[in-house]
Structures are given as structure tokens and as C-alpha cells.
Chain A
Amino acid sequence: MAEPQRLPLLEIRNLSLEFATPLGPVYALNLGGLDLYPGEVLGLVGESGSGKSLTASTVLGLLPSRRARVTSGQVLFDGRDLLRATPAELQHIRGRDISMIFQDPMAALNPVFPVGEPLLRILRLHRGLRPAEARHEALRILDEVQIPDPAAILRRYPHELSGGQRQRIMIAMAIAGGPRLLVADEPTTALDVTVQEQVIRLLQALQRAHGTAVLFITHNMGVVARLADRVAVMYGGDVVEVAPVAELFSAPRHPYSRLLLDAIPRVSARRERLPAIGGEVPDLRRRPVGCAFAPRCPLVTARCLSERPSLSAAGAGQVACFHPLAAGDSRTEALA
């Protein structure tokens, strides 16, 4: 569990990122602040285009395109600014201190080499193991990620493995360097439901065993509820609310968080209309003046349109809203 008095492992401060396009810049990220403490699992949720994955890529220094440019801000890992690290330093940190699990395990494995190849490579590169030791360690890690018959799997090619096995290999590669921070970008989205469940359990077990901090990106609220200690909700490139998972689910303070939770489909006998959030996703080509959510917010006021709220303490978490909801707030009726 998070202990807020400890120093954060990862601190993102005022991160602005834009894409140069022929139609002018797109202001993709405008992130006020986000902290991740050692050993905690922070869920990062939000709709498509809200900047979840972009935040993860930026942390690893893997901007998706050469048109992307960080215009300001800091990403402090263990007190060190990753945005100002040299490529050589970054290369040293990646895979060793920070590693990543990707969404599509098929695409993330090179089809021309057996899956053991990159795993052994990481062990030799980041842990300085000799070939025989690396092999031994690889077998141990594969066993840890619950892959049967690890020796045979090492020699297999990606297309010979099932989706679940591939994702286990990816997880094995991610933990091989012994990272302190694991960034998981929708690691279960490409898997079918039963395998999803296994992968979640595995991640949970590994996280507990190693005490690794995890930045877990997903749009699956159910997964967040099970894995995360705290949840950060992103909207329009910024974090609008951070709260312990139980609190966020029971008493969301930001109107967007509330609407997002209401939009989770539930299986019920009655036919219900799925609540959707009205309005459109924000146009990121315009730099927002006030609150990014203001145009869609049912509780909008004049101040929301002219001034940008910043994260401030609310309950056990923080919220960026001038009119945060309270538990049992009468205004929640207006949202329903």
C-alpha cells in the first residue's frame, strides 16, 4: 500500500507535450502532476486519447513519433529528470530500472527469433550474467511467470505460442532486469477473458512478491479495482483526480470520474440504456483555457471556463475541480 509520507519513485511535474501537425500543434499532454510511490500500484484510467499511453511512453523516453515534442515539465525518477537524461543514460535505465509490458504481445515479439533470445539478452545486458547463468535465470523466471516446460519454450518462435503464453513471456522480460517501476500499458486488452484473469493474477502475485511499483494503464475499471492501490483519472491530457481505489469507486469527486464510473456496463436482467457522457472528446488542437472537461460538464460554471483548476487535496486523494462532489452530494442527481 502507498505510504504518502515516503518519497515518490516517479514524479511527473507540469508535463506538456505537443505534436507538430500540418494543421498546427496538437496539445496532447498538459499534465499538472502525478506521483508514484515505491511498491504501489497506480491505475491510470481515462478514455481513448486522454493521454494515458502517451504519459507512459514519455516516462520511458519512447515518444511515438518524431513530431512529438515535450515543451516543458519534468519526469523525475528517483530524483533524476528522465527528460534531460542522455540517450545513453536512458538506455541504461530502460529495461533495468523501468520496464514495460505492452498491449499486444504478438506485435511485441520479434518473429524471426525464438522467444528465449530477447529474454537471455536482457539478463546479460542488464544483469551482467554469463550465458550459462542467464539461461539458468531465464528458466527460473519463466517458471515464476508460470510457463510450463520453460526449456522447450525458450526455443520456440512467437507464432508457436498462444496469446497468454506470449504475454507471460513479455512479463518475464519485463521483470528480468529486476525493475523498480513496471509500466503496464493495457497488458490484458488483447487477451481473451479467461487468459486475462490469469495474467491479472500473475501480475498481482509478482507485484506482491517483488514489491515493484506499477503504473497500470487501462480503460477497464474492473481490472483497476482489483489491482490498483490508487487510481489516477485522466481527461484531455491531464490528471483530473487521484484517489485510493476504494474511495474513487465509492465517492468520486470529479464529475468526470463519476460519469466514467456510471458508464461501466453492468450485466443485468433488465434492459438498460448504457449511460454515456454527453458532448465530444476535447479538441486538443486548441489549448484549453479553463477546465478541459468544462464543455461537457453538467456542473459547469463561468469560472470553469476561464480558469484552470489544479489538483488540490480532497479526502484521501486530490481532485482538479472547482466544484468537487462530496459523498451524498445532492448535485449528483444532476449527473444521473
Chain B
Amino acid sequence: MTTTEVDDRGGGGRTDQGGRPGQGSRTDRPSEAQDQATRRGSLFWVWHVLRQNPLTALGAAMVLGLVLAALLAPWLAPFPGDGGVDVHPKSQLLAPSLEHPFGTDELGRDLFSRVVYGARISLFTGSLVIGLALLIGIPLGAAAGYLGGFVDEVIMRFVDIVLSFPPLLLATALAAMLGSSLVNAMIAVAVAWWPWYARIMRGQAVALRERGYVEAARAGGVGTLRILTRHIIANSLPPLIVQASMDFGSVILTSASLSFLGLGAQPPQPEWGLLISTGRTFFLTNWWYVTFPGLAILVTAVAFNLVGDGLREYLDPRLRSV
């Protein structure tokens, strides 16, 4: 790293070779001036990564747009009531126009308004499912990797069993068992998803367990729980964050699939998967009905994947030792 190794008090190697006039004050202490140069705020690095990676910047812009759309839906949607139960029998299945950019559905509702409101559902679903999956996967994976032995065997064999099902199939079966509702669909997807995080976390824990600072913490009388949280989990977050951000798109897609199958969101919720499901009946005559919700899912999945790639780079500490 860039901090100069000059402040080991007590002589020895402090001479600065005498070849850099005007920097004498800087070498006395690695503080203020040095700080300014090397310890930039995280915003600087976010900006740096975005500038280096136009694709990441694009993804970030798309995610930002989605979040804004979700937050500002009542103001952004030309027909806010269409996100819910309003019906307009006179304007059924209109093709895209200036008044209805995405056209209207079979009940005359503005599809643009419904897709914008759908962003709320999708982002909420994605965050909650990923959050829940991390909440289950991280502690189990960390315990398995750090404690090892019997605990490891039991947890990881269970993980293997869950992973042996295709996630969509498992989520479908669980959602069917729990009953059709958006919340149940989210629970089902989270249950199918957590083993991935448990696996990543376990791998990290196994690697970190033998690290010097873990040993030093144990030698310092630090308890197991604190070692797990402060040392093992805290140092495992980068790969988990990357994976989670990449999974965001897949989770939204899976949830939409459940809704498509009728196991998730229920009418009149403007969930994208459900919109596609309803719209497929009209696909041959009214192309816009399935196309725009489908594009919304695509854009969301792509956006989070691009951001995930960027995060991987941002979180790699080696990058910052420029």
C-alpha cells in the first residue's frame, strides 16, 4: 500500500534517501498530506469503477432507474389507479400510443402504469428473498465451515439435498404446498435459494479459519460467536455480496415464473410474471401485452448482473492499491 514505511521510531531506515526535496515534511508522519492522497472516500472509488466500466455504469443507471420507478410509481404512472383495481371497459386492449405508451390490457388498464407499479413488487420480492436466503445461508455456512466435523457434515449434506432439486421445481412445489400468494412464493424461493449462500460461506469459513487473525483472536480470549461474526463473516462478505447482486435478477425471474404459474402474485396485483401469464392469451393479436412486462424482467435481470460484475471489481481490495 502507499503508506510509506518511515515511522518506525528509534532510528534505522529513516533517511528517505535524501533524493526527494520538498517532501521532508511528508515523511515525518504518514498523516494529513498522505491521507489526502491515499485515503479517498468510498465515493471516489465508486466513481472510479463506474468510469472504468461503462457497462457497470449502465447497469447501475438501470438499477437506479428501477428503484426510482418503484419509489415514484404514483407520480410516474399516468394512471395510478390502474396499478390496482381500476377498470376502463371502453379502452380495452389498445395498441401503444402517446396516451398509453405500453398499450392497455383486457380490462382497459394502462400497461405502462401497471409495469411501473410492478417494479415495486419485483424489487421488494428480490430484496426480501435474497435477504432471507442470506439470513439462513450465512449462519449455517459459517458454522459448518468454522466448526467442521459433525456439524459440517449434517449441514452440508442437507445443503446437498436441497441443491439436488432444480430451484424452480423446488420453489414450485413449496409454493404449491404453502398456497398461492406472493408472500408464500417469496418464502418458497428463499428456501430453494439459501444453500448457494451456505456453500459460498462455508468455503470462505474453511479458508479463513486458519488465518493468523483468527488464531490471534482465539489467543486473545475472543469467543467463538464473536470470531464468527467479526472475523469469519465480516471477511467473507465480498463474494457473498457479488453473488447476491447477481442472483437478484434470477430471483425476480423465478418469482415471476411462480406468478406466471399462478402460484405467486394474484390478480389484480401488477406483478410482471402474472402480467405475462394473463397476456399470453392475447399474444397473437396484442403483442404489447406480454412484451413490455417481459422486457421489464429482462432489463432488471441484466441490470443486476452488470452491477454484480462491477461490485466484484469494486470489492477486490487489490484494485485499490493503485
Chain A positions within 8 Å of B, measured between CB atoms, are 60, 62, 64, 66, 91-96, 99-100, 102, 104, 106-113, 118, 121-122, 125-126, 146-149, 152, 156, 159-165, 168, 170, 173, 177, 194-195, 197-198, 201-202
New A-B contacts (16) at CB < 8 Å, excluding given A122-B221, A159-B1, A177-B221: A60-B219, A91-B222, A92-B221, A102-B216, A108-B212, A113-B230, A121-B220, A125-B220, A148-B7, A149-B7, A160-B3, A163-B5, A168-B8, A173-B220, A198-B8, A198-B12
Nearest chain-A residue to B216 (Cβ)? A108
Q: What residues on B are CB-neighbors of A62 within 8 Å?
A: 215, 218-219
Segment 254-302 of B: residues with Cβ below 8 Å from A: none
A229–B132 Cα gap in the complex (Å)? Answer: 58
Query: Which of B9, B39, B219, B222 has most chain A Cβ within 10 Å?
Result: B219
Segment 1-45 of B: residues with Cβ below 8 Å from A: 1, 3-13, 29-31, 38-39
With both chains docked as a complex, state the minimum distance between the C-beta of A156 and any C-beta of chain B, in angstroms: 8
B312 within 8 A of partner (CB): no
Q: What residues on B are CB-neighbors of A94 within 8 Å?
A: 218-221
Nearest chain-A residue to B4 (Cβ)? A162
Is the Cβ of B222 less than 8 Å from the Cβ of A121? yes
Segment 203-221 of B: residues with Cβ below 8 Å from A: 210-213, 215-221
Is the Cβ of B12 less than 8 Å from the Cβ of A194? yes
A60–B213 Cα gap in the complex (Å)? Answer: 15
Which listed residue, A102, A110, A126, A170, touches B221 by the CB 8 Å rule? A126
A-B contact pairs, 12 of them (CB 8 A): A94-B219, A107-B212, A110-B234, A112-B235, A121-B222, A122-B221, A146-B9, A148-B29, A160-B1, A160-B3, A162-B7, A164-B5
A64–B1 Cα gap in the complex (Å)? Answer: 30
Is the Cβ of A149 less than 8 Å from the Cβ of B29? yes
Which listed residue, A102, A112, A148, touches B9 by the CB 8 Å rule? A148
B231 within 8 A of partner (CB): yes
Is the Cβ of A162 less than 8 Å from the Cβ of B5? yes
Is the Cβ of A162 less than 8 Å from the Cβ of B217? no
Q: What residues on B are CB-neighbors of A121 within 8 Å?
A: 220, 222
With both chains docked as a complex, state the minimum distance between the C-beta of A185 and any C-beta of chain B, in angstroms: 10
Chain B residues bordering chain A, tally (CB within 8 A) = 38
Is the Cβ of A95 less than 8 Å from the Cβ of B5? no
Q: What residues on A are CB-neighbors of B1 within 8 Å?
A: 159-160
Nearest chain-A residue to B238 (Cβ)? A112
Nearest chain-A residue to B214 (Cβ)? A110
Q: What residues on B are CB-neighbors of A104 within 8 Å?
A: 212
Nearest chain-B residue to A152 (Cβ)? B31
Given contacts A146-B10, A165-B8, A201-B10, contact A93 B221 (CB under 8 A): yes
Is the Cβ of B29 less than 8 Å from the Cβ of A110? no
Is the Cβ of A110 less than 8 Å from the Cβ of B231? yes
With both chains docked as a complex, state the minimum distance between the C-beta of A145 and any C-beta of chain B, in angstroms: 10
B149 within 8 A of partner (CB): yes
Query: Which of B7, B220, B321 has most chain A Cβ within 10 Å?
Result: B220
Is the Cβ of B216 less than 8 Å from the Cβ of A100? yes
Is the Cβ of B220 less than 8 Å from the Cβ of A122? yes
B108 within 8 A of partner (CB): no
Q: What residues on A are CB-neighbors of B166 within 8 Å?
A: none
Q: What residues on B are CB-neighbors of A96 within 8 Å?
A: 221
A177–B8 Cα gap in the complex (Å)? Answer: 24
Query: Which of B3, B6, B39, B211 has most chain A Cβ within 10 Å?
Result: B3
B89 within 8 A of partner (CB): no
Nearest chain-A residue to B38 (Cβ)? A160
Is the Cβ of A165 less than 8 Å from the Cβ of B7? yes
Given contacts A60-B219, A102-B215, contact A66 B8 (CB under 8 A): no
Could you give, for residues 222-260 of chain B, a 1 whenever the CB lies within 8 Å of some chain A CB and a 0 otherwise? 110000001100110000000000000000000000000
A60–B13 Cα gap in the complex (Å)? Answer: 35
Which listed residue, B4, B9, B213, B220, touches A107 by the CB 8 Å rule? B213
Query: Which of B221, B234, B317 has most chain A Cβ within 10 Å?
Result: B221
A164–B218 Cα gap in the complex (Å)? Answer: 23
B148 within 8 A of partner (CB): yes
A113–B226 Cα gap in the complex (Å)? Answer: 14
Nearest chain-A residue to B13 (Cβ)? A194
A163–B219 Cα gap in the complex (Å)? Answer: 21
Given contacts A92-B221, A95-B219, A121-B222, contact A110 B213 (CB under 8 A): yes
Which listed residue, B31, B210, B222, touches A95 by the CB 8 Å rule? B222
Nearest chain-A residue to B147 (Cβ)? A66
Nearest chain-A residue to B149 (Cβ)? A66
A102–B210 Cα gap in the complex (Å)? Answer: 13
A201–B8 Cα gap in the complex (Å)? Answer: 13
**Which 7 residue pairs of A and B lie closest in terms of their CB atoms, listed nearest first?**
A107-B212, A95-B221, A162-B5, A194-B12, A95-B220, A164-B8, A94-B221
A146–B235 Cα gap in the complex (Å)? Answer: 30
With both chains docked as a complex, state the minimum distance between the C-beta of A234 and any C-beta of chain B, in angstroms: 21
Nearest chain-B residue to A162 (Cβ)? B5
Q: What residues on A are CB-neighbors of B220 within 8 Å?
A: 94-95, 99, 118, 121-122, 125, 173, 177
Is the Cβ of A159 less than 8 Å from the Cβ of B317? yes
With both chains docked as a complex, state the minimum distance between the C-beta of A170 and any C-beta of chain B, in angstroms: 7
A125–B218 Cα gap in the complex (Å)? Answer: 13
Nearest chain-A residue to B235 (Cβ)? A112
A7–B118 Cα gap in the complex (Å)? Answer: 77
Q: What residues on A are CB-neighbors of B12 within 8 Å?
A: 194-195, 197-198
Is the Cβ of B221 less than 8 Å from the Cβ of A149? no
Q: What residues on B are CB-neighbors of A146 within 8 Å?
A: 9-10
Q: What residues on A are CB-neighbors of B38 within 8 Å?
A: 160
